[in-house]
Amino acid sequence: MEPERARQLLARERSRIEQAIAAIEGEGPLEGSDRKEPGDEGSEDLYQDEFNQSRLEDLHRDLAAVERAEERLSAGTYGLSVDSGEAIPDQRLEAVPTAERTVEEESHGHR
Give 57-101 pLDDT, tens digit per residue: 999 999 999 999 999 999 999 999 999 999 999 999 999 999 999
Domain covering 3-107, topology: Four Helix Bundle (Hemerythrin (Met), subunit A) (1.20.120)
Q: How far apart are CA 74 and CA 72, in angstroms?
A: 5
Q: How is 12-23 classified by DSSP, letter by letter? A: HHHHHHHHHHHH
Backbone angles phi, psi at 92, to 5 degrees: -65, -40
Give 7-18 pLDDT, tens digit per residue: 999 999 999 999
Instruction: Report which of 95, 89, 100 is spatially closest to residue 64, judged by C-alpha positions.
Output: 100
How do the domains of the chain map onto residue ranges? Answer: 3-107
Report, as an integer, the average pLDDT of 14-24.
95
Instruction: Return the SS3 of 28.
Output: coil
Instruction: Report which of 71, 73, 75, 79 is spatially closest to residue 101, judged by C-alpha positions.
Output: 79
The pTM score is 0.79
Instruction: Report which of 98, 31, 89, 110 is spatially closest to residue 59, judged by C-alpha positions.
Output: 98
Count other C-beta atoms under 10 Å from residue 61's C-beta: 10
